[in-house]
């Protein structure tokens, strides 16, 4: 049983694609050979073999698909490889060393179906570190070059690159946390500033009101004094007018 090792050399997208093409041709030939008697029976008058029983699939279509899938499932489970993979010296392993039929069945059916959706799952082989597609990720499998291992220098370089990658990721995370902390401090400072301004406004308004009240109090006595002065002036004018009338009356008598 093969287990994951840091010295493994993982197979890339193009070599795996070439291996899959070779396996597809072989599986299609075998499947066609095995279902050829059904085609003969259909031609002999067994028309039910050509009728749709599941969506647009006939009995012959379903049996052909099952034979095609069985090719990959059985050969991968029992031999960790297929004829197409053996051409390129590839084999399938698991990351934790476990190996069971259900996992391989899931990988070769549902896993490949999900990877085949717009082929995004297969293109993931190009960008992932261990060159895994969606079906590999789901089942914790990898495809490696059988018997090929990295040299000691290559392993050290790989470990150094992995350490640099982790250090860069940690530094980026630290910068992100510092930026978030700074943003939180700025937000708190702005909130405190906005909260203090309304508190001082009523005080200023209260001071202005008090000053206006004091001014009104100061102006009121002045207005009273001016009113008294005006009344006094009016009394003097009246007194002068009465005196003038008296003088005029005396002159007329004379």
- Comparing C-alpha atoms, which of 109, 70, 77 is closest to residue 94? 77
More confident residue, 83 or 147: 83
All structural domains of the chain with their residue ranges: 8-149, 151-196
Query: Using CA atoms, how far apart are residues 143 and 76, in angstroms rounded to an integer?
Result: 11
Rounded to the nearest integer, the mean pLDDT of the chain is 81
The pLDDT of residue 42 is: 87
Per-residue pLDDT reduced to its tens digit, 196-251: 554 444 545 555 555 555 555 444 455 445 555 555 555 554 555 555 555 455 54
The pLDDT of residue 190 is: 85
Per-residue pLDDT reduced to its tens digit, 32-71: 999 999 989 988 888 888 888 888 899 999 999 999 999 9
């Amino acid at each position: 049983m093969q287990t994951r090792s840091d010295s493994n050399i993982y197979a890339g997208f193009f070599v795996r694609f070439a291996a899959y093409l070779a396996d597809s041709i072989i599986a299609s030939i075998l499947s066609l050979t095995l279902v050829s008697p059904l085609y003969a029976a259909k031609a002999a008058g067994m028309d039910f073999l050509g009728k749709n029983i599941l969506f647009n699939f006939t009995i012959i279509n379903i049996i052909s698909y099952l034979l095609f899938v069985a090719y990959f499932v059985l050969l991968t489970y029992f031999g960790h490889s297929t004829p197409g993979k053996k051409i390129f010296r590839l084999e399938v392993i698991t990351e934790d060393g476990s190996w069971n039929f259900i996992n391989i069945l899931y990988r070769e059916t549902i896993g490949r179906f999900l990877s085949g959706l717009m082929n995004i799952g297969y293109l993931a082989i190009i960008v992932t570190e261990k060159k895994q597609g969606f079906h590999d990720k789901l089942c914790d499998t990898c495809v490696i070059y059988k018997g090929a291992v990295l040299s000691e220098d290559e392993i050290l370089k790989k470990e150094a690159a992995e350490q640099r990658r982790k250090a860069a990721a940690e530094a980026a995370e630290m910068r992100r946390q510092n930026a978030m902390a700074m943003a939180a401090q700025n937000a708190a400072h702005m909130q405190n500033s906005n909260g203090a301004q309304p508190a001082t406004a009523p005080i200023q308004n209260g001071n202005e009101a008090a000053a206006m009240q004091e001014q009104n109090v100061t102006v009121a006595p002045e207005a009273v004094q001016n009113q008294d002065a005006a009344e006094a002036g009016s009394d003097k004018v009246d007194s002068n007018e009465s005196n003038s009338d008296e003088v005029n009356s005396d002159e007329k008598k004379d």
